[in-house]
Every structure is written in structure tokens, then in C-alpha cells.
Amino acid sequence: MLLTPKVTTDLDPQPYSEIIDVRSPAEYVEDHLPGAINLPVLSNQERAEVGTIYKQVSAFVARKRGAALVSHNLSYHLNHHFADKPKDYHPLIYCWRGGQRSHSMALVLTQVGWRTTLLGGGYKTYRTYVREQLAQVPYRFSYRILCGLTGTAKTAILQLLAQAQAQVLDLEGLANHRGSLLGAAEASAQPSQKQFESDLLSALQRFDGTRPVWIEAESSKIGERFVPQALWQQMKTAPCVEVRASISHRVDWLLAHYDHFIRNPTLLKDKLGQLQRSYSKAQLQQWYDCITQEKWTELVRSLLEQHYDPAYRRSMRHQYTNQQQNYDLPDLSATSLQQLVKALMKTEQAMG
């Protein structure tokens, strides 16, 4: 009996052997279904070539050229990725809108004898699903907001909470940004807004609605990525736990965790130059002089006192007003952070 691909629009988890994104690598990098692998039937350059032929010559000639390229790429995937797949292999396949690219692979695989399922509407169906879910899912949970001045080890505390089996939503990790002027990751760019939202939804869907979710106090924009409105509204009204530490301990913490700027003083000066509309030339020059003279402790302390701490206090007055607990840390040692996490977990359990 000749098999034919099945078509579905159901995005609930299914026991597929793999999820295959056949779009170009550039499309895949921008966003893709969680767990999907990229087996493009047209490369970035090939897709552009076929599109140019379609516009400048004719649809027929473009389809003919596209078919040749797709056949070549499918042959490569069959000889490599699919070479050792068992008889019961069953992938979910999708392209941009469930059109020719995904059908091309699905038809070939079904002729081999494998069951295949196509995502009806392709990536566009998934993207609609993500937007709809992000408008609803954040309301399923209660939240605890971890607040504190810059340098109070909030990210490290969240990581320890996660290790203690608390539910933690690491927005900075998902956005690949530490949420401030100097917060860009050292070696990699932020994900696209679409990928950020996909990863965020995937994280939320793993949580238990009967337990609170811990989040660091953020603005509605982390680097260049925006927090979805439903989640942002929930964050602003959630109870806050503020962590406090002396400025000397915060300076030491920041020097240890932002040392890539010390290794690249030119980049640091460029970043601080973005503050020229907010601070006098004299203030900026003072910071530049500290960098040139490698007065790192003086620089960090001044940045905290003149820029970060005032900005934080303004943000708290306007965005996070439901402050319920304060914890004063004697230092930011591993022991102190562990003791804090134990206290936070005890409070969480007491609150049910």
C-alpha cells in the first residue's frame, strides 16, 4: 500500500522521531519549533536564486530550477542524515507555510516507506500558536520577583534556586543579555525576537502551575528583546524579594563577573559613550580616565553611584511596587548565597 504524508495542525507534543525544518539556514536561525533540526532543501543562496528567477523570468523556470536543487539536496540528506533511520522512523516536517519544500521531502520519505507528518500551514501556523499562547499562558502562574541593586548576584541566586528545584524563568539567559547598558553577552548575539518568544513559551510550558515561578526584576526590554505584554503585566504586580549588599561587595562581584570589559577597554569606552545624552562631558571623561588608568574599582563604584543605583531606584518606584521581603547579605560569598536560597525556599514552602 502506497503511503501518503499525514497533515496536522496539532502542536501539542507528539512522539515524533524528529522534527525537521526544511527551510533555509537563515530562516531556521531566526526561529524554529523547539527541538527542530535543520535539513534545508534549499540553501540561503539557492533560495535567493530561485526567488530571483521567479521575479525576473517566470514561475515555471523557477520551479524547474528549484526542483533540480531540491532533488540534489534531498539526495544528500538521504545518503547522510537518513541513512541509518529504522523502518519505524516517523518525522514531523515543516517549511514556511506548508508548501512545496516540506512536501518535497515528505513525498520522498514516504516513498522509502517511512510514515511522515506535515505541519499544515508550516512555520506560520506555529508562529500564530506562539503569539496566542503567550497572551494566555503567563496567567497560569504566580510569580516571585527577585530584586536588588546591580551587583547583588541576582543571576547567581536564581541559578542556585533552580538547583534547589525552584521554578526559575531566566529571562536574561533566554535573551542572551544581562539587561543593562553593559549587559550584552561577551561572544554571541541576542536571539531574534521570535526565537526569544519561542524559547520563553517552551520554558513556561514546562512549569507547574501550583508552584511559584521566580524571575529577576527586569524592564520590559532586555537588550533589544521585548518581554510579552501578558508576562510583563504579571511581573509588575508580583510580590518582590529584595536582596541587599554593601557597595564594596557589589563592586568586587562586578569586577569578577564583567572582566571581559577590563580585557577590552575600547569596547567599554564605546559602551559608555552611549550615555553622552544623560551625563556631562566631565563625567564621561572621568570614567574614560579611570579606564585608561586602569582604576577599575573607582570606575565601577562611580558607575554604580552615578548611573546604576539611581536608575534602579527609579525603576522600582514605577514598575515593581509590591515589595514584601528584604534580605541583607553580609557578603556575596557562596556560603551567604546558599543560606539566602535556603531561606527563600523555606518561605516559598511556607506560602504553599
240 carries an active-site annotation: no
Q: Hey, what's the cell of 60?
A: 515555471
333/344 Cα distance (integer angstroms): 17
Beta pairing, strands 225-226 & 221-222: antiparallel
Catalytic hit among 95, 147, 240, 290 = 95
Q: What type of residue is 229? A: Q
Q: Which of 46, 44, 45, 27 is nearest to 36 (CA)?
A: 27
Q: Hey, what's the cell of 348?
A: 516559598
Cβ-contact 24, 97 below 8 angstroms: no
Q: Hey, what's the cell of 208?
A: 507547574
Assign 3-class secondary structure to the chain: CCCCCEEECCCCCCCCCEEEECCCHHHHHHCCCCCCEECCCCCHHHHHHHHHHHHHCCHHHHHHHHHHHHHHHHHHHHHCCCCCCCCCCCEEEECCCCCHHHHHHHHHHHHHCCCCEEECCHHHHHHHHHHHHHCCHHHHCCEEEEEECCCCCHHHHHHHHHHCCCEEECHHHHHCECCCCCCECCCCCCCCHHHHHHHHHHHHCCCCCCCCEEEECCCCEECCEECCHHHHHHHHHCCEEEEECCHHHHHHHHHHHCHHHHHCHHHHHHHHHHHCCCCCHHHHHHHHHHHHCCCHHHHHHHHHHHHHHHHHHHHHHHCCCCEEEEEECCCCCHHHHHHHHHHHHHHHHHCC
Q: Which residues are catalytic?
A: 95
